[in-house]
């Protein structure tokens, strides 16, 4: 069961209650309807902190409480009559109109603005976040975030709930598509730019889910056991970089427990690390139903409860009145919310509802997808296809009508509804497989107008093989759908798709596989096919972008942000730990949300692989992989030479990359380091990269400045990053397993 706030259709039913509430002390109205407010806090020449302090002094206790919680959501919490002021998004917190403080209108926005279907609006679907991470391009991430910020504003929202950056410890996690891969430096850098892009549009940005919400199974109950050094150097490092470089106005704490305490009442995570060590100035908002107490959560550093007021309404008010929550602690929560509102510009420049720039959004989505598609195999230069090819079989995965998207609270609604039958159902439904109306068949036909292009649904491997046999080339589209609220049982393809690919490959030696997945995929058929493209969940213009890569109008340049293992058995945990019955809320009980809020019995996961996340695991365990982290081919080739490492405040790593083929392309040149053996670190870690565009034959010197923190370990005794003096091996090349340049350097 899943939740959403009141839709507009329900509003008349609650209008009566709302009228009664007009006499409540806090009455929300949109800022636009207010007379201009006079007050020194409205003067933007003061700093956000000063402005927050000034307005805080004017506020009553009820007004303060109101800014610290939401107005409810069906199936998760009771709904306040004030929910009538919701803009239709996942959250709405009531502001203080008499003081010029607007409501906070929150919308999910992982790869685009959610709930546009039920609100009668339009949103662009960008490629899934993991796909954007495959571009390794911080500018693309910024554009991604900026598009989300613009569309949020156009739809009347002033806060994004995007910014997912949990590192991929468990690639079967159903939300892997919403995150940015397995490396904390890549993920943190990319999410920071996404947040900056969003906030530049004067929208409150968010980073989530803090922290270690690495599987969906039993997420409201699970207790993650992990040692401090491992979390600081992996999962938390992604957030540390995201916070330092992206400066998000909000951090969403996660559902799970970490080392005993729920993340949203975990003083180590919220206060010691986030607010003290990282000097975070924004506010912490709980994931929806992730608040479990008033006093404990407040003391631990939770600033705002969503979606309701089960703890941060009356219970918090009473705790403040009785002195159980000190006034200074309480005021700090309010100060943080206000500060974020001033800092992000939502008070000085509130959103004006407008028409989304559909065409502009489609162009951005396509451009980013073209940079996100990873070419994994290309035997005998099968790709690019020639536009003079005479016959093509297009097979599988609804490739005649659409391409798959990621589900859950990230879901963007396709225009016209789901592209597969039954069509035209309006809003999307929780955990339906949703296909965007971007047709690979049509895009392929457009690229090769003279060719005979035939389609087969791929539901019967033998008839697909018969269709493939008579074509020059067979392109099999295969998918793995993912969603919040579930995990994958395996990284292997489902619905008979492995059999389909093998049958087609046996019939046609020119078989190309296009994978629409949100995580790594197992490929038992890899030796049988000639080419493989990973296009992820490709967004609104997925088909056009895919066809551009298939036919060589775009030379692929993306690299994997996560390892593709050979089998589930090679993962650190061969199966996902499932919750026992008592840790699962009983959805038959209409009050099951109370069981969640009041705390389900914990079950345990031990991340005993510790520091060995992603490629660090396979390296350390000497496990061969299918495709390594950082891997991706191009239609041209590159060579690397002349490595120079210069120690200093930053360590400068320079080398030359040459395009040795005959097409222009973009190469993501990567730099890794092995730390001194005494540190006990996995064999290597990514420390930087540079994306360089090169014409055929052209060479460029690449220079990567490496932050010393990226070469450090986290010393738990000193609670500080420490660069351990010794010999460091610096390596550069085209993937984590193709590093032709190596140089040792002594650092202290």
Applying CB under 6 A, which residues contact ligand BGC? 90, 108, 161, 208, 287-288, 409
Does 287 participate in catalysis according to the annotation?
Answer: yes
Torsion 28-31-32-35 (CA) sign: positive
Of the residues 137, 214, 247, 287, which is catalytic?
Answer: 287
Distance linking the first and last C-alpha atoms of the chain: 55
Closest CA to 564 of 627, 656, 609, 472: 627
Record the tokens describing residue 674, joined without a space. 């092995």
| Nearest distance, CB of residue 483 and ligand BGC, angstroms | 11
| Nearest distance, CB of residue 292 and ligand BGC, angstroms | 15
The string over 542-571, giving b where at least 16 C-beta atoms fall within 10 Å of a residue's C-beta and e elsewhere, is bbbbbbbbbbbebbbbbbbbbbbbbebebb
Of residues 108 and 619, the one with the C-beta less far from ligand BGC = 108
Q: How far apart are CA 748 and CA 742, in angstroms?
A: 19
Of residues 413 and 609, the one with the C-beta less far from ligand BGC = 413
Q: How far apart are CA 523 and CA 530, in angstroms?
A: 13
Q: Count of CB atoms within 10 A of residue 1's CB?
A: 13
| Nearest distance, CB of residue 91 and ligand BGC, angstroms | 7
699 within 8 A of 591, measured Cβ to Cβ: no
Helix (H, G, I), strand (E, B) or coil at 333: helix
Q: Count of CB atoms within 10 A of residue 694's CB?
A: 20
Percent helix, strand, coil in the chain, to 5, is: 30, 20, 45
Of residues 145 and 461, the one with the C-beta less far from ligand BGC = 145
| Nearest distance, CB of residue 264 and ligand BGC, angstroms | 12
- How far is the CA of 3 from the CAs of 11, 78, 85, 409, in angstroms? 16, 11, 17, 10
CB contact set of 154 (below 8 Å; sequence gap of 6+): 351, 353, 354, 355, 356, 357
By DSSP bridging, strand 720-722 and strand 257-258 are: unpaired
| Nearest distance, CB of residue 285 and ligand BGC, angstroms | 9
Q: How far apart are CA 211 and CA 232, in angstroms?
A: 11
| Nearest distance, CB of residue 109 and ligand BGC, angstroms | 9
Q: Count of CB atoms within 10 A of residue 10's CB?
A: 14
Of residues 226 and 264, the one with the C-beta less far from ligand BGC = 264
Q: How far apart are CA 173 and CA 607, in angstroms?
A: 14
Of residues 161 and 673, the one with the C-beta less far from ligand BGC = 161
Q: How far apart are CA 547 and CA 403, in angstroms?
A: 13
| Nearest distance, CB of residue 357 and ligand BGC, angstroms | 25
Torsion 670-226-573-604 (CA) sign: negative
| Nearest distance, CB of residue 409 and ligand BGC, angstroms | 4
Of residues 77 and 409, the one with the C-beta less far from ligand BGC = 409
Helix 461-469 to helix 497-507 angle, to the nearest 10 degrees?
Answer: 30
State the residue for tokens 């919310």.
337
265 within 8 A of 292, measured Cβ to Cβ: yes
| Nearest distance, CB of residue 554 and ligand BGC, angstroms | 32
State the residue for tokens 């106005």.
249
Of residues 128 and 378, the one with the C-beta less far from ligand BGC = 128
Record the tokens describing residue 44, joined without a space. 């933007």
| Nearest distance, CB of residue 297 and ligand BGC, angstroms | 17
Q: How far apart are CA 617 and CA 613, in angstroms?
A: 5
Closest CA to 639 of 660, 653, 655, 654: 660
Of residues 49 and 118, the one with the C-beta less far from ligand BGC = 118
State the residue for tokens 């014409």.
695
Of residues 94 and 645, the one with the C-beta less far from ligand BGC = 94
| Nearest distance, CB of residue 6 and ligand BGC, angstroms | 14
DSSP 8-state assignment for residue 447: H
Residues found in the chain: 748
Helix (H, G, I), strand (E, B) or coil at 512: strand
Of residues 409 and 659, the one with the C-beta less far from ligand BGC = 409
Helix or strand holding residue 339 (H, E)? helix 327-344
Helix or strand holding residue 706 (H, E)? strand 699-707
Of residues 150 and 208, the one with the C-beta less far from ligand BGC = 208
| Nearest distance, CB of residue 601 and ligand BGC, angstroms | 20
Of residues 206 and 544, the one with the C-beta less far from ligand BGC = 206
- What is the rounded radius of gyration, in angstroms, for the C-alpha atoms of the chain? 26
Catalytic residues: 287
């Amino acid at each position: 069961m899943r939740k959403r706030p009141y839709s507009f259709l329900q509003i008349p039913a609650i209008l009566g209650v709302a009228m009664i509430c007009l006499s409540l002390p806090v009455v929300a109205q949109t800022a636009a309807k207010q007379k201009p407010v006079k007050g020194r806090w409205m003067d933007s020449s003061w700093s956000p902190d000063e402005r927050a302090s000034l307005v805080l002094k004017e506020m009553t206790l009820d007004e303060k409480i109101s800014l610290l919680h939401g107005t409810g959501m069906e199936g998760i919490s009771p709904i306040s009559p004030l929910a009538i002021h919701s803009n239709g998004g996942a959250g709405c917190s009531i502001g203080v109109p008499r003081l010029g403080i607007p409501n906070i209108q929150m919308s999910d926005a992982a790869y685009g603005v959610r709930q546009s279907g039920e609100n009668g609006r339009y949103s662009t679907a960008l490629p899934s976040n993991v796909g954007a991470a495959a571009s390794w391009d911080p500018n693309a991430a910024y554009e991604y975030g900026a598009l989300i910020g613009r569309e949020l504003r156009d739809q009347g929202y002033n806060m994004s709930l995007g910014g997912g950056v949990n590192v991929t410890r468990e690639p079967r996690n159903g939300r892997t598509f919403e995150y940015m891969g397995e490396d904390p430096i890549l993920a943190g850098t990319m999410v920071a730019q996404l947040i900056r892009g969003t906030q530049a549009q004067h929208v409150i940005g968010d980073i989530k889910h803090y922290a270690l919400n690495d599987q969906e199974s039993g997420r409201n109950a699970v207790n993650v056991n992990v040692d401090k050094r491992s979390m600081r150097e992996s999962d938390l490092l992604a957030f540390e970089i995201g916070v330092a470089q992206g400066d998000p106005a909000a951090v969403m704490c996660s559902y799970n427990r970490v080392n005993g305490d729920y993340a949203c009442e975990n003083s180590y995570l919220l206060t010691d690390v986030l607010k003290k060590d990282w000097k975070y100035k924004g506010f912490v908002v709980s994931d929806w139903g992730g608040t479990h107490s008033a006093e404990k959560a407040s003391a631990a550093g939770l600033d705002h409860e969503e979606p309701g007021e089960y703890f941060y309404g009356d219970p918090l008010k009473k705790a403040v009145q009785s002195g159980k929550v000190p006034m200074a602690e309480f005021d700090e929560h309010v100060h943080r919310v206000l500060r974020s509102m001033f800092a992000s510009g939502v008070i000085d420049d509130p959103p004006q509802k407008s028409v989304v720039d559909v065409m502009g959004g489609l162009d951005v989505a396509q451009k980013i997808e073209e940079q996100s598609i990873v070419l994994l195999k290309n035997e005998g230069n099968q790709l690019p296809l020639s536009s003079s090819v005479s016959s093509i079989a297009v097979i599988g995965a609804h490739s005649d009508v659409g391409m798959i998207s990621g589900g859950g609270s990230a879901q963007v609604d396709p225009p016209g509804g789901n592209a597969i039958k039954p069509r035209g159902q309006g809003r999307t439904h929780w955990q339906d497989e949703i296909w965007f109306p971007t047709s690979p068949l049509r895009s392929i036909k457009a690229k090769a107008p003279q060719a005979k292009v035939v389609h087969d649904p791929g539901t019967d491997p033998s008839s697909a093989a018969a269709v493939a046999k008579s074509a020059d080339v067979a392109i099999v589209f295969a998918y793995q759908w993912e969603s919040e609220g579930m995990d994958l049982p395996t990284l292997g393809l489902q619905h008979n798709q492995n059999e389909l690919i093998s049958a087609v490959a046996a019939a046609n030696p020119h078989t190309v596989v296009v994978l629409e997945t949100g995580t790594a995929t197992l490929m038992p058929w890899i030796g049988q096919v000639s080419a493989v493209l990973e296009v992820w969940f490709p967004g609104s213009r997925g088909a056009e972008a895919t066809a551009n890569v298939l036919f060589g109008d775009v030379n692929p340049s993306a690299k994997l942000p996560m390892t593709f293992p050979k089998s589930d058995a090679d993962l650190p945990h061969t199966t996902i730990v499932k919750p026992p019955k008592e840790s699962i809320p009983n959805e038959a009980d209409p009050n099951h949300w109370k069981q969640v809020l009041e705390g389900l019995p914990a079950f345990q996961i031990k991340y005993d692989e510790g520091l060995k996340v992603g490629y660090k695991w396979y390296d350390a365990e000497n496990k061969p992989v299918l495709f390594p982290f950082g891997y991706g081919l191009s239609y041209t080739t590159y060579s690397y030479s002349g490595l120079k490492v210069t120690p200093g405040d930053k360590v400068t790593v320079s080398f030359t990359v040459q395009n040795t083929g005959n097409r222009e392309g973009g190469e993501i040149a990567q730099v890794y380091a092995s730390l001194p053996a005494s540190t006990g670190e996995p064999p290597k870690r990514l420390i930087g990269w540079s994306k360089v565009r090169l014409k055929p034959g052209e060479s460029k010197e690449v220079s990567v400045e490496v932050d010393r923190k990226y070469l450090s370990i986290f010393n738990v005794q000193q609670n500080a990053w420490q660069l351990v003096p010794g010999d460091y091996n610096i390596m550069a090349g085209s993937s984590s397993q193709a590093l032709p340049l190596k140089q040792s350097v002594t650092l202290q």
